[in-house]
Amino acid sequence: AQKITQTQPGMFVQEKEAVTLDCTYDTSDQSYGLFWYKQPSSGEMIFLIYQGSYDEQNATEGRYSLNFQKARKSANLVISASQLGDSAMYFCAMREPRGSTGFQKLVFGTGTRLLVSP
Amino acid sequence: DAGVTQSPTHLIKTRGQQVTLRCSPKSGHDTVSWYQQALGQGPQFIFQYYEEEERQRGNFPDRFSGHQFPNYSSELNVNALLLGDSALYLCASSLFGGQREAFFGQGTRLTVV
């Protein structure tokens, strides 16, 4: 079964600095997708970035980039130039490969709380 | 373009009662998934609906049931509520066959007292 591990319960960063949030995953499948979501205190899960297992380039979306190291099974999120509004919970998730039903679900880690200070 | 909308946003119920949560998917999406997020945890998959049928189910008891309507909206029903059912319930919509992100609603925060 797929598993996502986020070992950092909390991270602190100063405004305008970069921060890396760690994520490792466990799967025996060759085809999978990795996601990062941001969850502010309001509760909504906001999609940040996606990396497919066959993507050769690391994904980037504005200030977010995903450091994908397939052999190490890690998919760390890098946030450059942190802003106060980045303070939130961050979840790493894996999309299970499409099974016989054709349907997929997301498996989430336990999250990392990021606090950005002025 | 409206995103995923859930109602109500907050709900307080008593043990043993039944509750219904609602979700309208993002325009153009046909698949709805429900997740339960206990305090301090990541979301856990409950089940997924497509073409008005439950297609996949996580490790949740039969007290959790759902429905999808012809307009793709969905309901999550929980019977015989337990204190442990207190959680944030998230609805996610996606397009069947899509490879990328699922879009989530803001969630319904259920408190069972």
Length of chain B: 113
The fraction of chain A above a pLDDT of 70, given in percent, is 94
More confident residue, B6 or A103: B6
User: Is the Cβ–Cβ distance between B32 and B25 less than 8 Å?
Assistant: yes
Q: What is the pLDDT of residue A95?
A: 87
Instruction: Work out the average pLDDT over A6-23.
Output: 97
Whose tokens are 């299970």? That residue is A96
Whether A103 and B56 lie within 8 Å, measured CB to CB: yes
CA distance A72 to A57: 16
Interchain CB distance below 8 Å, A105 and B55: no
Q: Are A2 and A94 in contact (CB under 8 A)?
A: yes
What would the 3-class secondary structure string for chain B be? CCCCEEECCEEEECCCCCEEEEEECCCCCCEEEEEEECCCCCCEEEEEEECCEEEEECCCCCCEEEEECCCCCEEEEECCCCHHHCEEEEEEEECCCCCCCCEECCCEEEEEC
pLDDT reported for residue A100: 55
Placement of tokens 């591990």 in the chain: A5
Distance CA A56, CA A68 (A): 9
For A75, half-sphere exposure in the C-beta direction (CA atoms, 13 angstrom radius) is 31
Residue type, B47: F
Give contacts of B101 with chain A, Cβ < 8 Å: 35, 47, 50
Least confident of A95-104, B7-16, B68-77, B85-94: A95-104
- What percent of chain A clears pLDDT 90, i.e. is strictly above it? 78
Other residues' Cβ atoms within 10 Å of the Cβ of residue B98:
13
A46 touches chain B (CB under 8 A): yes
pLDDT at B94: 87
CA dist A84 and B100 (Å) reads: 28
Quote the pLDDT of residue B2: 73
Task: State yes or no: pLDDT of A118 exceeds 90.
Answer: yes
How far is the C-alpha of A34 from the C-alpha of A49, rounded, in Å?
Answer: 8
Percent over 90 (pLDDT), chain B: 86
* pLDDT tens per residue, range A56-107: 899 999 999 999 999 999 999 999 999 999 999 999 999 877 665 567 789 9
Which residues from chain B sit within 8 angstroms of residue A111, using beta carbons?
41-42
Q: Quick one: pLDDT at residue A102?
A: 62
Mutate to test the interface with A, among B57, B104, B108 (most CBs of A within 10 A): B104
> Residue A101: what pLDDT?
59
Distance CA A41, CA B92 (A): 18
Q: Is A9 on the interface with B (CB under 8 A)?
A: no
pLDDT given at position B39? 93
Name the residue with higher pLDDT: A113 or A29: A113
Residues A110 and A72: their CA atoms lie apart, in Å, by 20
Q: Give the separation between CA A75 and CA A67, rounded to whole angstroms.
A: 6
Average confidence score pLDDT of chain A: 92
- pLDDT band, residue A48 (cuts 50/70/90): very high
Q: Do the beta carbons of residue A73 and residue A26 sit within 8 Å?
A: yes
> Are the Cβ atoms of A43 and B88 closer than 8 angstroms?
yes
pLDDT in tens, B38-76: 999 999 999 999 999 998 899 999 999 999 999 999 999
What is the Cα–Cα distance from A61 to A64, expressed in whole angstroms? 5
